[in-house]
Structure 1
């Protein structure tokens, strides 16, 4: 620990607790289940260890099976609340679309069409008859009926950050200069440049996703585990065991 913050190399997890922080899933149920199998295998060889699996948000959009991703996460949390799910901007965007059929919002423009398809709904099928706005309105009504109440409850239950040991976990990052416990929710799910450009250490190492990188990015003050899973076929996570830290990946089909 320095006077200004904690460096990744010096950061430690909570005593006696293994931490796993999984990057943006974006509808890749196949990769999410593969990552959980890998983590379960590691935990089987560490009997008696406490653990937390922290999902960093963006469970829906772009990839092929958002519905199954949410089903999986609901069941994982029901089975063991040490499975923690944080909110991503796309998850909040889905909630916003369900409440208001905005034809040019995040959901419609950045992968929500694929999310709707996973629920059996085609949001733009009737566009040539009704125009985009009309088709979206019709599809929205079908999607509201198709999305189970349990999925809406799940999305509404997502928290925006969590902290263990010397690590702070959120979807996008933090606003430099603002204490961790006073961060704005919009920053936690949307921030990019002001956070990425900040070179000084934070009071904890920030573990995040939101901004795709070719491979997990480890900096002195932050770790980015968004490796564009929906397209690259690589889902990444940070594994922390005391002072031991490593990036783990699972591989699948690339699109």
Structure 2
């Protein structure tokens, strides 16, 4: 049976538009700023008539400076709306924690403590005196006060996917067999095995993060640019210029 869909080698960006897709940042504002400087240098050296910088989600948790990452992204979007930010599961998890302090949810178990610290809040400070649930409830009140309304509005505004040329961008991946326009938000920010293991081509090449890999992974049907930046000190991106496609990295301190 002949596969239908777009192969990475044949995929092209829109004519005249440079594309950059940046992987999971997870609180590493130093790496995010370095990546933007690198992209700006490329656009100055070889100007493009149009461009988009697409951030693939997971701006918060685990790394040291989630607050500054969100500040950076808000300012970038104000400066030029061609900076596009998509939702990741950790970004939605932060919103969920702000709405309901679940003591054993994604936020508390997978890096939200570091996110709270970047806003000056210690979610675990009072555990010895009050027990975990009550301490988190007290910390939650402090965090709700500390997170600016502009940050909450930003997280709520994040779309779950975007498409340019032969590329479809999302945080985690897609459900095989489901049209791109009909993908569920849950799959777009959470899916792993069913997507990763699919052998066939998709209607477009899927550019995603969510699942850390030692170096950016380029396959016939997808590109994964999550290189565990918060810990490895390497933030990766896919750069597309017409039919030319390449991975670019910035390096910083490993944690």
Task: State whether TM-score is above 0.5.
Answer: yes
Give the Cα–Cα distance (whole angstroms) in 2 for the partners of residues 247 and 199 of structure 1: 22
* Residues 125-168 of structure 1 deviation map (CA, whole Å, 9 limit, x = unaligned): 00001100000000000000000000000000000000000000
Secondary structure of 1:67 counterpart: helix
Partner SS state of residue 131, structure 2:
helix
Residue 192 of structure 2 corresponds to residue 215 of structure 1:
no
Closer, same or farther: CA 192–3 of 1 in aligned 2, 3 Å: closer
Matched with 1:23 is 23
8 A contact 1:43–1:49 mirrored in 2: no
Alignment of 1:175-214 (within 5 A): 175-214=175-214
Distance 1:253 1:167 in 2: 31
> For residues 42-57 of structure 1, what are the structure 2 equivalents within 5 Å?
42-57=42-57
Q: Secondary structure at the match of 1:18?
A: strand
Contact 2:17 2:48 in 1 (8 A): no
SS at match of 2:198: coil
- TM normalised by structure 2 equals 0.99
Residue 64 of structure 1 is matched in structure 2 by 64
- Deviation, 1:68, is 0.1
Secondary structure of the residue aligned to 1:90 is: helix
Which residue is equivalent to 1:248? Answer: 248
Select between 149-158 and 48-57 the one with higher mean Cα deviation.
48-57
Give the equivalent residue in structure 1 for 2:32: 32
CA distance in 2, matches of 1:48, 1:116: 39
Following TM superposition, by how much is the alpha carbon of 1:3 offset from its aligned partner in structure 2, in angstroms?
5.5
> Which deviates the most, 41-50 or 65-74?
41-50
TM alignment of 1:123-142, pairs within 5 A? 123-142=123-142
Structure 1 segments, 4+ long, off by >3 Å, are: none
Contact 2:3 / 2:200 at 8 angstroms: preserved in 1?
no
Residue 91 of structure 2 aligns to a residue whose secondary structure is helix
Q: Show the 5 A alignment for 1:98-113.
A: 98-113=98-113
Deviation at residue 45 of structure 1 after TM alignment: 1.6
1:47 partner SS: coil
Contact 1:166 1:205 in 2 (8 A): yes
Instruction: Give the unaligned 5+ runs of structure 2.
Output: none
Matches of 1:72 and 1:138 in 2, distance apart? 28
The answer to whether the 8 Å contact 1:51/1:82 transfers is yes
- Root-mean-square deviation (Å): 0.7
List alignment gaps of at least 5 residues for structure 1.
none
Deviations 1:191-221, CA, capped at 9 Å, x for gaps: 0000000010000000000000000000000
Please list the CA deviations of residues 14-70 of structure 1 after superposition, one character each: whole Å capped at 9, or x if unmatched.
110000000000000000000000000000022342000000000000000000000
Query: What is the DSSP-based 3-state SS (H/G/I as helix, E as strand, rest coil) of the residue aligned with 2:51?
Result: strand
Alignment size in residue pairs = 254
Secondary structure (helix, strand or coil) at the match of 1:188 reads helix
CA distance in 1, matches of 2:153, 2:14: 30
Aligned to 1:146: 146
